[in-house]
Amino acid sequence: MSKLIVMNGRYNNSDCIRNLINYITTDKETSHVLTYDGFGVNNLNRQTMIDSMMKSKERADKVNGKQAYHLVISIYRIRNPMSSDRKINYGHSILYDIGYYFFERNIQSVLSLQDEIEGNWHNIHIHCVINSVDMHTGLKITNTRSLFEHLLSMLAYEYPYLKMDNYVTYE
């Protein structure tokens, strides 16, 4: 079963956008970044992605409070017969679907597809950092529960073979 997990961190310090984007786009000991991309942000490099998000916050005068949301989409966390190559192919497609899901709702996002090696199998997952400000209104995004639930429904509809969990997980 695949999951959409919303990380429960507070993410309200001024450096959190920088830290999160650096975190999700950097290789770690057991986790390898396969690709990353930004939507509604300057994709030149990591720093320009951070600049885009920070500047849009400043222009909207929303530099305080919650700065970002961090989501993780885990593709078949439990062992299953699907090969890791196939999961990676799904991952690429899901990454762009999620990016455009938020883009169409005037929300900037940066996503990365990662391959985490756990023993002798691969946990393919997507990290997603979204700006807490709606670019159209300049207000903080509200009703995030329904936003994420709708995203989950969209993924479940588009990718039935991945067997998305029925509920968004908060952890």
Partner 1 sequence: MRKDKITVRVTEDEKSRFKDYCDNINLSPSRELRQHIINVLNYKESHIPISNGRNINILFMNIYNIVNNCECNDKARNELLKLLNELENNI
What residue ranges bind partner 1 (CB under 8 A)? Answer: 37-44, 48, 51-52, 55-56, 59-60, 103, 106, 108, 133, 135-136, 138
Q: Specify the residue, 38 or 91, whose C-beta has the smaller distance to partner 1.
A: 38
| Residues 33, 126 contacting (CB under 8 angstroms) | no
* CB neighbour class for 21 (10 Å; exposed up to 12, middle 13-18, buried from 19): buried
Q: Specify the residue, 59 or 145, whose C-beta has the smaller distance to partner 1.
A: 59
Shortest distance (Å) from residue 35 CB to partner 1? 14
Shortest distance (Å) from residue 142 CB to partner 1? 17
Shortest distance (Å) from residue 149 CB to partner 1? 24
The two three-digit tokens of residue 18, written as one number:
């920088």
Shortest distance (Å) from residue 130 CB to partner 1? 13
Helix, strand, or coil (residue 51): helix
Shortest distance (Å) from residue 96 CB to partner 1? 10
Q: Specify the residue, 27 or 58, whose C-beta has the smaller distance to partner 1.
A: 58
Q: Specify the residue, 23 or 103, whose C-beta has the smaller distance to partner 1.
A: 103
Provide DSSP, 108-159: -EEEEEEEEEETTEEEEEEEEEEESB-TTT-SBP--HHHHHHHHHHHHHHH-
Q: Specify the residue, 39 or 76, whose C-beta has the smaller distance to partner 1.
A: 39
Helix, strand, or coil (residue 49): helix
Helix, strand, or coil (residue 35): strand
